[in-house]
Chain A
């Protein structure tokens, strides 16, 4: 047994046991394995599956489409054919992305006094608004989103600010 100065400056006894070297190697090997596995998972996600790049690209496309449709104003999102659970979640995601991207402009998916949090709430309250309704709620664009298989088709309808046509 020997003594040595510890990190906080106090004298402490250090017990040398050969056993810790074997254990140390095992734990060190596990740590290296863990860091390696973690980095491997991340590399696969980012650079093989290109998950982040794919989402960023979808975001940029969506941003461009929303901005072009809304022309500096708010919009109403109308979802059609979003029938499965997965597409319902996609609709919820589109709506929330649109709210974030368009802020401070208004994005509606139904009655503005209704909660639209879950995918079910988003789709259940989603109706086809009239031009008068849109103007009354201060949005001038209806962006229809239709799921066709795995493709998202969009169509923008612009309501004239002064003369409702629909």
Chain B
């Protein structure tokens, strides 16, 4: 039963950070931040210790938790208590709330079942992420474990970032043994947290009438239900990205330094989660500069530059660590060249067609993307609103940024790669899409 104390540690760390950086938010939003940030921050701390030669242990997990509890809760109390943010927009009638909550409840039930009952049975989960979690639980990163040089195990992508495995490794460490049954438990928290922050973000602008269906749509897409408790990095990346774009919208609205710090922290989490995270963090920084009111104000420019530098510095240890590792799997970053991409431009229609075909595949998405299209068309006037415009720019930039790997891939057959990745790539875009559905939900328009 050590997984329960571990989840408590994760929550304490998350709450300590959220209490400092998400002050003044509604309780549900603060809970969401705690659930999403806890695994990320605790995982990063354990990685730091591991790089210093201290493998994750029960004592290390408890010590990190206590440290965060002291720093976050007892040192310099934040001035305003977390008040419930005033909800704008329409209030959902009971039957509508019931329908949406039934869908959300089903999602929570099956993701909890996957995370807590079944072992890691999704191929990517056991072959890549959870195998690494066993490695990280057993040895520190200094001296470098033999695993990272074993090219026979290159199927597990030796150079992939290690935040998700370290989050699970913390559970093994807390249990004092390799705990195949509960290693995915922290991802249930992130699933709940993602739902909570998206709900709170939409509710504060459009009311519960729009927030509940947006959350239900996000939390019940078949791929979200499949990957939610699977133990892969998809849910973690989606949750961190969803949180970061909500901070970005908050920053546009209020220009509070706390939101900026959250975007920076989440940028580091994104980069330590998957290689796509570097791109998403960069897109956030670019959008932050371009679409913030008064973008050329010295304070805004300084904060953006500072944020980018902190994210770069925060991810540098892994870039240096991974530099000498064998590179036997598909090496996209080294192959990214304008010449190669131009040569493979004829692949663009194929990639676009496959992406489109995936988005309308009802067994993976229901009619999630149709709802987004319907809401966008019916509420096209809302495109003039800054948050809506920002989210569309983020969504478009994200989908465009996922294009280059398909143009430079050579080990994989491009059709095969599209078949196995498009669903997951679209999953990363669902928080932006769900927020858009909520913000463009038909209703009284604020001019």
Using a CB–CB cutoff of 8 Å, the interface residues on chain A facing chain B are 5-9, 12-17, 20-21, 23-24, 26-28, 30-39, 41-42, 45-46, 52, 55-56, 59-60, 92-93, 96-97, 99-101, 103-104, 108, 110, 112-117
Given A6-B446, A52-B121, A115-B151, answer yes or no on A27-B378 (Cβ-Cβ < 8 Å): yes
Verify B138–A104 contact, CB threshold 8 A. yes
Residue of B nearest to A43 (CB): B106
Verify B121–A59 contact, CB threshold 8 A. yes
Q: B110, B135, B254, B367: which contacts A34 (Cβ < 8 A)?
A: B367
Bound-complex Cα distance A8 to B87 (A): 8
Shortest B250–chain A CB gap in Å is: 10
Residue of B nearest to A96 (CB): B127
Comparing B301-309, B339-347, B368-376, the segment that makes contact with chain A is B368-376
- Per the 8 Å Cβ criterion, residues 116-153 of B in contact with A are 118-121, 123, 126-127, 130-131, 134-135, 138, 150-153
Residue of B nearest to A1 (CB): B447
- Per the 8 Å Cβ criterion, residues 340-375 of B in contact with A are 362-363, 365-368, 370-371, 374-375
Could you give 9 example pairs across A and B, Cβ below 8 Å? A5-B86, A20-B444, A21-B442, A24-B442, A30-B370, A34-B368, A38-B368, A39-B106, A41-B366
- Most chain B CB within a 10 A radius of its CB, from A7, A32, A33, A113: A7
Bound-complex Cα distance A24 to B362 (A): 22
Bound-complex Cα distance A97 to B437 (A): 39
Q: Mark B78-116, 1 if CB is under 8 A from A, else 0.
A: 000000011111000000100110010010001000100
Shortest B158–chain A CB gap in Å is: 11
B216 at interface, CB cutoff 8 A? yes
Shortest A139–chain B CB gap in Å is: 12
Chain A residues with CB under 8 A of B118: 52, 55-56
Q: A14, A46, A115: which contacts B110 (Cβ < 8 A)?
A: A46
Verify A7–B86 contact, CB threshold 8 A. yes
Chain A residues with CB under 8 A of B131: 99-100, 103
Shortest B236–chain A CB gap in Å is: 19
Verify B152–A108 contact, CB threshold 8 A. yes
Residue of B nearest to A24 (CB): B442
Verify A38–B130 contact, CB threshold 8 A. no
Closest 7 CB pairs of A and B: A7-B88, A24-B442, A38-B366, A34-B366, A23-B442, A35-B103, A37-B366
Bound-complex Cα distance A24 to B209 (A): 10
Bound-complex Cα distance A63 to B328 (A): 28
Chain B residues with CB under 8 A of A33: 366-367
Verify A38–B220 contact, CB threshold 8 A. yes
Shortest B321–chain A CB gap in Å is: 20
Chain A residues with CB under 8 A of B217: 31, 34-35
Q: B155, B367, B368: which contacts A117 (Cβ < 8 A)?
A: B155
Bound-complex Cα distance A60 to B363 (A): 28
Shortest B197–chain A CB gap in Å is: 15
Shortest A63–chain B CB gap in Å is: 8
Residue of B nearest to A11 (CB): B446
Bound-complex Cα distance A32 to B155 (A): 40
Verify B99–A32 contact, CB threshold 8 A. yes
Chain A residues with CB under 8 A of B213: 28, 31-32, 35
Q: Mark B251-262, 1 if CB is under 8 A from A, else 0.
A: 001100000000
Chain B residues with CB under 8 A of A100: 120, 126-127, 130-131, 134
Shortest A95–chain B CB gap in Å is: 8
Chain B residues with CB under 8 A of A23: 378-379, 442
B241 at interface, CB cutoff 8 A? no
Residue of A nearest to B178 (CB): A103
- Per the 8 Å Cβ criterion, residues 376-419 of B in contact with A are 378-379
Verify B446–A12 contact, CB threshold 8 A. yes
Bound-complex Cα distance A117 to B150 (A): 12
Bound-complex Cα distance A140 to B33 (A): 49
Known: A23-B442, A52-B114. 8 other contacts (CB 8 A): A5-B88, A7-B205, A20-B444, A31-B437, A35-B217, A37-B366, A103-B131, A110-B152
Verify A96–B126 contact, CB threshold 8 A. yes
Chain A residues with CB under 8 A of B253: 8
Bound-complex Cα distance A123 to B52 (A): 40
Chain A residues with CB under 8 A of B176: none
Residue of B nearest to A52 (CB): B118
Chain A residues with CB under 8 A of B85: 7
Q: A24, A28, A38, A117: which contacts B222 (Cβ < 8 A)?
A: A38
Verify B126–A35 contact, CB threshold 8 A. no
Q: B120, B151, B221, B370: which contacts A38 (Cβ < 8 A)?
A: B221
B6 at interface, CB cutoff 8 A? no
Verify B155–A96 contact, CB threshold 8 A. yes
Bound-complex Cα distance A46 to B254 (A): 44
B54 at interface, CB cutoff 8 A? no
B77 at interface, CB cutoff 8 A? no
B204 at interface, CB cutoff 8 A? yes
Chain B residues with CB under 8 A of A113: 151-152
Q: Mark B217-261, 1 if CB is under 8 A from A, else 0.
A: 100111001100000000000000000000000000110000000
Chain A residues with CB under 8 A of B445: 14-15, 17, 20
